[in-house]
Amino acid sequence: MSSSFAVNGADRERLLAQYPQVFQRSFFKRYGLLLTAGGVLAYLVICFFAFNVGPAFMQGRWDRASSYIQDWYSWRAQPRLRFDDGKVVPQWSSRGQYPANANIDWLQPLQNGGYAITYGNTDNRLDVTPARVDVHVDGVSYPVMITADAVTAPANAPGEIRQDGSKVIVDYGFAGQAEIRTSQVYVQRRFLGWANFFFDTRSAFWGKRWSDLAGLAFWGERIDPAQSNLSKMQQDFLNNDVWQHADILSKLMQTLVMAFVGTLLGTLFAFPLAFIAARNITQSRLANWGMKRMFDFLRSIDMLIWALFFTRSFGPGPIPGIAAIFFTDTGALGKVYAEALENVDDKQREGVKSVGASPAIVNRYGVIPQVLPVFISQSLYFWESNTRSATIIGAVGAGGIGLKLLEAMGTNADWDKVAYMVLLILMVVFLFDNASNAIRSRLIGKTHH
């Protein structure tokens, strides 16, 4: 059985008269979404040209960006081969990548007083002497001549060898590169992984295999009679001169303390002040208005600005960081708390008030039980967020791992150490995120999975 429904002219007129808002929508209701999308697109196009996005991408040093990314998961040995009295003398950077007089397989002396540098295999290597550098690319040798005034690449040099003014640059890709000058050769030899991450070259455990380290840790003869090998491993790891684990972990703990204490103080101060700002709790409109404006002032100034202000006032250290988090969180939490208080169920308050309870008792039993889970949940979220923010404000002088991160980035040669600190921060944020989610879930009566 089938049926059909048809609307005649009279019914159509009746429906139009009875429900005009359905059939006769305004212009903005009909085309508002399309106009909004067009406006956003036009705004993005204007920004594209106003901020020179196209030229910025075209002029970007993408090769340098690639090198920085490679530095995150690899390390560079950077000796300088100086030309001194007809000999080639290697000099090393201060990171102590090899012990003194170490036998390095990729940097070997030649019989004529020079050095051979291999990049993965002997088909790609440099034979360095004070008068010339023989650059081998895929087994073919290209002599680079060195005089007192300039370095000259051969005319038939491949793309790996490039003349750059009075110097020549040799690029072997990920394996590394070299910069040949009149007085020395700057060498960058790259390897996957982080060199000397666990033990520096001063440690007796440097360069040993994992099986050998396990044997020394649990049943090997003591290296230092005064302590066990396991204890000495821990000591050597923390006192690693290159990676500075003890200092970095100490700065990380300082950052966590800054975030925790700043959030705690913000919570303790915002809690009572929010009762003054809530219109249904404090009847004075002047007090409500004044407290809310104070919250606006505290949170409208960015945490980074507060950190700069307190750093100038108290000097570098964790105190400016704690104060910056405290001021910002007092304003932000105060606003959130006050809004939660203004939306409580008045029936519970009236029930407590009907037995003749004082205002303090009314708030204690009629208001706080309703808003306490929300308050704690918001404070936990701010604590988690401030763990990240404390890293940023530390970079402007407030101490913590942020300052250490900025120092490593400033050297432009410690990007592996930057990656190490970023991973530590990510791990801490991940742990705090899961912990705060678990606590918040319990507070609102849900099972955490």
Mean pLDDT of the chain: 85
> What mean pLDDT do residues 68-86 have?
87
Between residues 363 and 292, the one the model is more confident about: 292
412: left (phi over 0), alpha (psi -120 to 50) or beta: left
pLDDT level of residue 52 (50, 70, 90 thresholds): confident
Q: What pLDDT score does 127 carry?
A: 93
State the Cα torsion 383-385-388-392 to the nearest 10°.
Answer: -100
Q: Find where tokens 């975030």 sit.
A: 259
Q: Can you spell out the DSSP letters for 73-103?
A: HEEEE--EEEEETTEEEEE--TT--S-TT--
In 120-254, DSSP assigns E strands to 121-128, 132-137, 140-146, 151-152, 161-164, 167-171, 176-180, 184-192
The DSSP output letter for 60 is: -
- Predicted confidence (pLDDT) at residue 1 exceeds the cutoff of 50: no
Residue 412's φ and ψ, nearest 5 degrees, are: 60, 15
Residues linked to residue 125 through DSSP beta bridges, in sequence order = 118, 136
The answer to which of 128-142, 278-292, 426-440 has the lowest mean pLDDT is 426-440
Q: List Cβ neighbours of 329 (8 Å cut-off, separation of 6 or more).
A: 262, 263, 265, 266, 267, 270, 382, 386
Residue 141 has pLDDT above 80, yes or no: yes
- pLDDT interval class at 24 (50, 70, 90): low
CB neighbours of 135 closer than 8 A, spacing ≥ 6?
A: 126, 141, 142, 143, 144, 157, 160, 161, 170
Helix (H, G, I), strand (E, B), or coil: what is residue 26?
A: coil
- CATH of region 245-443: 1.10.3720.10
Dig out the tokens for 133 from the structure: 């550098």
Q: What is the pLDDT of residues 80-131, one digit of tens each?
A: 999 888 888 898 876 767 887 788 889 999 888 889 999 988 889 999 998 8
Mean pLDDT, residues 60-66 taken together: 74
pLDDT at 170: 94
- Locate the domains of the chain by residue range: 9-50, 77-192, 245-443
Per the CB < 8 A criterion, the answer to whether 117 and 125 are in contact is yes
pLDDT of 9 reads 67
Q: At 196, which amino acid appears?
A: N
The owner of tokens 């959030």 is: 263
Gap between the Cα atoms of 288 and 281, Å rounded: 9
Per-residue pLDDT tens digits for 256-279: 999 999 999 999 999 999 999 988
**Is residue 448 scored above 50 in pLDDT?**
no
Of 341, 258, 259, the C-alpha closest to 295 is 341
